[in-house]
Every structure is written in C-alpha cells, then in structure tokens.
C-alpha cells in the first residue's frame, strides 16, 4: 500500500477519535452546553423512557444525546459506570438480581429499595424514587389457547410439556429468568426457542410458539388478546421503574439533574402502556409521544418534530443518509486498518512456514468467533478509555474480522508464485525488498484484492450489529424495525446494506481491471 494512502487512513482514524463525539458530532459544537448522555435498552418502553429523560435534560439547558437501543442491562450499566452515559431508567428487580448481584454475593443484604439505594451510592450512582409503575415479567399465552388447555397459572404448564416456549435471550440468561423459574416450578419443557422479545408476539399470533415472556405493561397483551399466567409461587420480583444517574451530574449540571428527577412518580401503569401503544401500534415516533406526554403532564412547551407524509419522507431520507455515513465510517476505518495490518502479516507468514501456520491459525480462530461474542469481548477494553459504546469497539471487532481474508489472500498469492520466477528475480540481482515490490506483490495482487473484497463484504454485513452498542449504521433502522414490527424500517437498513455490498463487488471488479496486469486478471 502506498505510504500516502496509509497515512490518510491513519489520519482519518485519529481525526474521528480525537475530534468527534461518539456518533460523529464535532466536539467544538458540543462544548456549548452541558453534555448529558442518556441510555435505553432495546425495547420500546425503555426507548420512550430514554426520550422522556432527554426531553427533560434538554429543557433544563443541556444538550442530551440519547444512546438508544443499547442492548441489555450490562451494556447500559457499564456505560453508566464508565461515564459514557449519565442516566437511564432501570427496574428494581433487575437492579437487585443483575446489577447488585456481586454485592449480594459478598454478604450484603439487598432486599429493600433503601438497600439498593445505599449499595448504588457506593458505586457513585444515584437511584431515584419510583417512576410510578411496576413492569414485571410474566409468562403469557393467547387467551383462546390458554382457555382450551385450561391453563390459568404457571404451575399448570407442568401438565403440558408439548408446548413450544419462546423467550428473549436476556430472559433465558437472567438470574430471575427461565432457568430458576423452571427449577422452582418443576417445569419439564425442553423445547425453547430463543428470539427477540418483540418477535415473540408474532410467534404467539402465528402459533409457532404457545408461551412467551411478557412485560406486564406491553400494549401487545391487549392487542393480541393475551393472558398473563398467574405467578402462583410468587417467583417474579417487582420491577418498579427508577432512574439511575451518575452522582457527579448533580455537581456538573445541577439543574439538569433536578430536571431528570422530575421522573419520580410521574407515570402510571396505564400512561406507560398508552405511550407504548402509540409507538408500537400507531407507529408514532418515540420522541413525539414522550414530548406530548411531558407537555400535558408538566405543562411544558417542548418543540416536537412534525408528523405527516412529507415529514415522514424527509425523515426516511435523513435516516438512510445518516445510516449510510455511519456504516461507511465503520467499514472504511476498520477495513483500512486491517489492510495496514494484514498485508504485512501475510508477507511475514509467506516467508516462514511455521510462522505462517501460527498467524493463519490465530486469525482463523478470531474469524470463527460469533460476531456478538467478539463485540462483547472488545467492549471492556475500550471502556477503560470511556469508549465502551459507540464506533470504537465496533471498529475493533470489524478490524479483527477482516484479518483472515486479507492475510490468507496475501499469503496464498505469494506462495503460489512459481519457483522459476523467484529464481529469475534472484539471478537479475534483485534484493529481497526489490523482489517483493517488483515481482511478488504485483503477481500476488489478484489474490490480495480478492481477500480485501471478501473482508469488505463481510464488514458491510457484520457492521449492522454495531447498532446494539450505539455505533449506528444500517443496523439501527433494522433493529428498530424488528422492535416495532415495521417492515419499512427494516428495508431502510437491509436494502442499502445489500446495495452497498453489490457496489463493493462491482467496484473491486473495476479496480482489478485498472491495476492488475491483464494476464493475471480473472476471466
């Protein structure tokens, strides 16, 4: 690779990390007001609550950035601890069973909300009073199916081992989720489908599953005529919504902290369910629904986005353009860094057989890791630098995924050069560097380009998971579309991603014709 191109890639990477915020906003612009990070999990109620916090913070003079749909509890909690976000809404049951599980293991009693509040204070986190509603877990079925089978409570499921159960991945893994529930009730079921929480409702509707985990404030319970089974052994704890906020926000932006705490006692269960219904069933934007609620409840005068066909069209264009920019940023930076690393590795591997097998083995193992596992693995490393969410860990995961095709392409391209050509170069008096530059790399170029093209296509597809940690890209509309059961949103991410992959394939074909010797070009 030419030094000028390499310098440009390194310079671009440094520019974005140093001068841009997590989603590409220039830091000079962000310095005008107190910066407040708000987080939310990847389900509708949490996103709405995040929008409520963002509106309150903005109304108090802050510039709030809502890092929406950040996956599960641990991602949000780690982001709060490291300072990447300043506040989000969680639930008392989750706090006790998940967040403070380590404290409980050390012998500290975590039973009351006062115990939780004290334990969180030791971690420099403020816990508010209840927001006003309890959204606990429940197991749910279609009313007609439950009535036909005579099932009214969870214990009744013991008599129906044939039923297909569908649970969210978080519910399956939680300490207050499926495994301890199964043990307490003595349930015999082994046919468990792990799926997105929002997809489970469609599974119940289509009868591909008969039992799913529900949140008791979900509007789909009424919409799909579901019944929440009685928790007759009182397994599920209460899940009162509370605000978790970094304690340093009270000194850094006291008015903002005070505004955020207006969430205390603000929302009834009926109001929360109604807001979720407006988003999930009426297809309205979370920020508008949350803003209207605050305007009515607190007599605020928040300026909200317009609704209508033209406004929706403009939003689609804006969403696709933003997602394209974010996706290209993830792919180009990770691919550029991979090229800078993998081509030299491939050259070194081709020089020594033992070293070559070791290098190929290592990058091969990395390639076999599931993309989500790799993403979770690199997040704690970047969390040390307050970059655990956003583009940085996503770029690192994509970089690691890009290594194998490029290393293998470089290694194979050089190793396949006939011995006679190598000997001819030596006879001509070319030293090792000259042979590499004038003979080996030009002959290996088709194989190297093929590896880079493969890595680029893999990156385009894999980059969609970056949306789970706030990295943006085409994954954002896809995840939101799945959450809202909105095919239009899914297509706004899936179609451009497919088009970008095809464009890359075509572009590399043109590049090969331009820079590869005609005799070496693939037919």
| CATH number reported for the structural domain that contains residue 430 in this entry | 1.10.3720.10
Q: pTM (2 decimals)?
A: 0.78
Output the domain CATH number for residue 93.
Answer: 3.40.190.10
Q: How big is the chain by its Cα radius of gyration, in Å?
A: 27
Is residue 296 located within the same domain as residue 339? no
Q: H-helix or E-strand containing 460?
A: helix 441-462
Which tokens is 5 given? Answer: 């191109």
Is residue 261 located within the same domain as residue 208? no
CA angle, residues 159, 160, 162, in degrees to nearest 5: 150
Is residue 361 located within the same domain as residue 478? yes
Is residue 426 located within the same domain as residue 372? yes
Q: Which of 209, 228, 247 is the last residue of a domain?
A: 228
Distance CA 354, CA 384 (A): 35
Q: What local confidence, expressed as pLDDT, does residue 521 receive?
A: 64
Q: Which of 305, 327, 356 is the last residue of a domain?
A: 305
Is residue 377 located within the same domain as residue 263? no
Is residue 361 located within the same domain as residue 500? yes
192: left (phi over 0), alpha (psi -120 to 50) or beta: beta
Output the domain CATH number for residue 189.
Answer: 3.40.190.120
- Domain assignment present for 5: no
Is residue 245 located within the same domain as residue 368? no
Beta bridge partners, 64, equal 36
Say which residues have a Cβ less than 8 Å from residue 264's Cβ, sequence separation at least 6: 128, 129, 130, 131, 132, 243
Is residue 353 located within the same domain as residue 324? yes
- Domain assignment present for 489: yes
Host domain of residue 514: 312-520
Q: What local confidence, expressed as pLDDT, does residue 519 receive?
A: 61
Cβ-based burial of 433 (10 A; exposed 0-12, middle 13-18, buried ≥19): exposed
Q: What local confidence, expressed as pLDDT, does residue 392 receive?
A: 87
The per-residue pLDDT string of the chain (523 residues; one tens digit each, 9 = 90 and over) reads 444 444 444 454 454 444 444 444 444 444 568 899 999 998 899 999 999 999 999 999 999 999 998 877 888 998 999 999 999 999 999 998 889 988 877 878 888 899 999 999 999 999 999 999 998 889 999 999 999 999 999 999 999 999 999 998 888 888 788 999 999 999 999 878 988 887 888 899 989 999 999 988 888 898 889 999 999 999 988 899 999 999 999 999 999 999 999 999 999 999 999 999 999 888 899 999 999 999 999 999 998 887 777 877 888 898 899 999 999 999 999 999 999 999 999 999 988 888 889 999 999 998 888 877 787 778 777 766 767 777 888 899 999 989 999 999 999 988 888 878 877 877 777 777 888 888 888 888 889 999 999 999 999 999 998 888 888 899 888 988 887 778 888 999 999 999 999 999 898 888 888 887 766 666 5
- Domain assignment present for 27: no
- Whether 397 and 374 have beta carbons less than 8 Å apart is answered as yes
Q: What local confidence, expressed as pLDDT, does residue 503 receive?
A: 92
Q: What local confidence, expressed as pLDDT, does residue 43 receive?
A: 86
Distance CA 380, CA 446 (A): 38
Is residue 407 located within the same domain as residue 477? yes
Q: Where are the strands (E) in 135-256, listed by range?
A: 137-142, 165-167, 192-194, 211-215, 226-228, 240-246
- 3-class secondary structure, 166: strand
Say which residues have a Cβ less than 8 Å from residue 38's Cβ, sequence separation at least 6: 50, 53, 54, 57, 64, 65, 66, 67, 85, 86, 87, 88
- Domain assignment present for 3: no
- The neighbour count for residue 408, using CB atoms within 10 Å, is 22
Distance CA 276, CA 286 (A): 9
Is residue 82 located within the same domain as residue 125? yes
- Whether 101 and 201 have beta carbons less than 8 Å apart is answered as no
Number of domains, the chain: 3
Determine phi and psi for 209, rounding to 5 degrees.
-130, 155
For residue 436, the 8-state DSSP code is I
Q: What local confidence, expressed as pLDDT, does residue 279 receive?
A: 92
Q: What local confidence, expressed as pLDDT, does residue 144 receive?
A: 94
DSSP string, 298-366: H---------SHHHHHHHHHHHHHHHHHHHHHHHHHHHHHHHHHHHHHHHHHHH-HHHHHHHHHHHHHH
Is residue 349 located within the same domain as residue 254? no
Is residue 301 located within the same domain as residue 316? no
Q: What local confidence, expressed as pLDDT, does residue 17 receive?
A: 45
């Amino acid at each position: 690779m030419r030094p000028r191109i390499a310098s440009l890639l390194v310079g671009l990477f440094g520019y974005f990390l140093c001068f841009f915020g997590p989603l590409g906003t220039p830091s000079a612009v962000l310095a005008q007001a107190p910066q407040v990070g708000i987080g939310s999990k990847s389900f509708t109620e949490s996103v709405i609550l995040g929008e409520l916090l963002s509106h309150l913070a903005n109304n108090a003079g802050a510039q709030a950035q809502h890092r929406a749909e950040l996956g599960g509890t641990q991602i949000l909690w780690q982001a709060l601890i490291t300072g990447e976000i300043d506040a989000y809404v969680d639930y008392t049951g989750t706090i006790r069973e998940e967040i403070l599980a380590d404290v409980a293991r050390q012998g500290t009693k975590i039973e009351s909300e006062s115990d939780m509040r004290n334990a969180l204070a030791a971690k420099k986190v403020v816990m508010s009073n209840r927001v006003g509603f309890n959204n606990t877990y429940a197991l749910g079925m279609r009313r007609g199916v439950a009535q036909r089978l005579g099932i009214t409570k969870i214990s009744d499921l013991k008599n129906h081992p044939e039923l297909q159960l569908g649970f969210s991945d978080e519910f399956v893994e939680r300490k207050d989720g499926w495994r301890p529930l199964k043990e307490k009730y003595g349930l015999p079921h082994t046919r468990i489908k792990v799926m997105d929480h929002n997809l489970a409702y469609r599974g119940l509707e289509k009868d591909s599953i008969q039992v799913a985990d529900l949140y008791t404030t979900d509007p789909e319970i009424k919409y799909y005529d579901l019944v929440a089974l009685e928790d007759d052994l009182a397994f599920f704890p209460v899940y009162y919504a509370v605000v978790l906020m970094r304690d340093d926000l009270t000194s850094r932006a006291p008015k903002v902290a005070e505004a955020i705490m207006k969430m205390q006692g603000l929302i009834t269960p009926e109001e929360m369910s109604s807001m979720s219904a407006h988003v999930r069933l009426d297809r309205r934007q979370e920020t508008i629904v949350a803003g209207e609620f605050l305007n009515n409840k607190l007599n605020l005068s928040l300026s909200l986005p317009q609704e209508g066909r033209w406004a929706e069209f403009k939003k689609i264009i804006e969403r696709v353009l933003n997602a394209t920019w974010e996706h290209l940023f993830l792919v180009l930076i990770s691919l550029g860094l991979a090229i800078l690393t993998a081509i030299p590795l491939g050259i070194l591997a081709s020089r020594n057989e033992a070293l070559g097998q070791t290098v190929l083995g290592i990058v091969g193992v990395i390639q076999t890791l599931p993309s989500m596992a790799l993403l979770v693995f690199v997040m704690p490393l970047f969390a040390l630098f307050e970059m655990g969410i956003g583009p940085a860990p996503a770029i690192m995961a994509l970089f690691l995924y890009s290594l194998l095709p490029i290393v293998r392409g470089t290694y194979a391209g050089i190793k396949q050069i006939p011995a006679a050509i190598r000997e001819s170069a030596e006879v001509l008096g070319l030293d090792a560097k000259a042979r590499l530059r004038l003979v080996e790399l030009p002959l290996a170029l088709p194989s190297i380009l093929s590896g880079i093209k493969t890595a680029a296509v893999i990156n385009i597809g894999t980059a969609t998971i970056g949306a789970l940690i706030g990295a943006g890209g085409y994954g954002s509309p896809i995840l939101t579309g799945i959450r809202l059961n909105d095919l239009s949103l899914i297509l706004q991410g899936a179609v451009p991603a497919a088009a970008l992959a095809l464009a890359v394939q075509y572009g590399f074909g043109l590049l090969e014709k331009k820079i590869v010797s005609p005799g070496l070009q693939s037919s």
